[in-house]
Amino acid sequence: MEGIAQDNNSHSQPAKLDACRMESEQIQADLESCDFNLKTLNDISKDIYGSVEIDTIVKNFLLMCMGNFGILSGFALLLDVDRDGPDHFSAIGFPEEDVANLRENCRHCVVSTGPVEQGAESLSRDCSPLSPFGIEQVFPFQVAPDYQGILGLGSRLMADTYTTRERELLETLVNSLVVSLKNAKSFESILNLNQDLEEKNIALKTALKNLKAEMRKVEILESVKENLSKFVPHAVSSAIERSPSGRMPESRNHDLSVLFLDIEGYTKLTEKLGGREVNNIIEKHFSVFMDAIHANNGDVNETAGDGLMVLFLEGDHTTNAMDAVRTALTIQEETARIGKDIFSQYKPLKINIGINSGSALVGAAKFESITGSRWTYTARGSLVNVAARIGALATGGQTLLSRPTADRVAEQIHLKNLGKFELKNVKEPTEVFELDTNE
Q: What is the pLDDT of residues 236-274, one digit of tens each?
A: 666 656 665 556 666 788 899 999 999 888 778 777 777
How many domains is the chain partitioned into structurally? Answer: 2
Instruction: Lowest mean pLDDT of 23-37, 259-273, 372-386, 402-416, name the range.
Output: 23-37
pTM of the model: 0.50
| Between residues 173 and 401, the one the model is more confident about | 401
Domain match, 177 and 263 both: no
Tell me what pLDDT residue 190 has.
86
Mean predicted confidence (pLDDT) in 77-94: 83
CA-based torsion, 11, 14, 17, 21: positive or negative: negative
| Between residues 5 and 301, the one the model is more confident about | 301
In a domain, 233, yes or no: no
CATH code of residue 310 = 3.30.70.1230
Instruction: Lowest mean pLDDT of 107-116, 187-196, 232-241, 400-409, name the range.
Output: 232-241
Domain match, 305 and 426 both: yes
In a domain, 242, yes or no: no
Domain match, 286 and 402 both: yes
Query: pLDDT class for 234, splitting at 50, 70, 90?
Result: low
Tell me what pLDDT residue 438 has.
65
CB atoms within 10 A of CB 309: 22
Domain match, 269 and 154 both: no
Q: Is the pLDDT of residue 124 over 50?
A: no
CATH code of residue 166 = 3.30.450.270
Domain match, 172 and 289 both: no
Domain match, 10 and 144 both: yes
Tell me what pLDDT residue 145 has.
84
- The 3-state DSSP class for residue 149 equals strand
Domain final residue pick, 128, 163, 183: 183
Q: Is the pLDDT of residue 121 over 50?
A: no
- Whether the Cβ atoms of residue 86 and residue 139 lie closer than 8 Å to each other: no
Q: Is the pLDDT of residue 120 over 50?
A: no
Percent helix, strand and coil across the chain, each to the nearest 5: 55, 25, 25
Tell me what pLDDT residue 310 has.
92
Q: Is the pLDDT of residue 78 over 80?
A: yes
Q: What is the CA radius of gyration of the chain?
A: 52
pLDDT tens, position by position, 16-34: 666 676 666 666 555 555 5
pLDDT tens, position by position, 310-322: 999 887 899 999 9
- The 3-state DSSP class for residue 363 equals strand
Mean predicted confidence (pLDDT) in 88-107: 91
Residue 400 makes CB contacts below 8 A (sequence gap 6+) with 353, 354, 355, 390, 391, 393, 394, 418, 432, 433, 434, 435
Mean predicted confidence (pLDDT) in 51-68: 85
Domain match, 151 and 271 both: no
Residue range of the domain that includes 6: 2-183
Mean predicted confidence (pLDDT) in 147-166: 85
Domain match, 151 and 259 both: no
The continuous run of DSSP H or E covering 64 comes out as: helix 54-69
Instruction: Lowest mean pLDDT of 39-48, 298-307, 324-333, 416-425, name the range.
Output: 39-48
Q: Long-range contact list for 63-66, CB < 8 A, 24+ apart? A: 63/92, 64/40, 65/151, 65/153, 65/170, 65/173, 66/92, 66/93, 66/153
Domain match, 165 and 281 both: no
Mean predicted confidence (pLDDT) in 419-433: 90
Domain final residue pick, 162, 183, 204: 183
Tell me what pLDDT residue 126 has.
57
In a domain, 32, yes or no: yes
| Between residues 348 and 173, the one the model is more confident about | 173
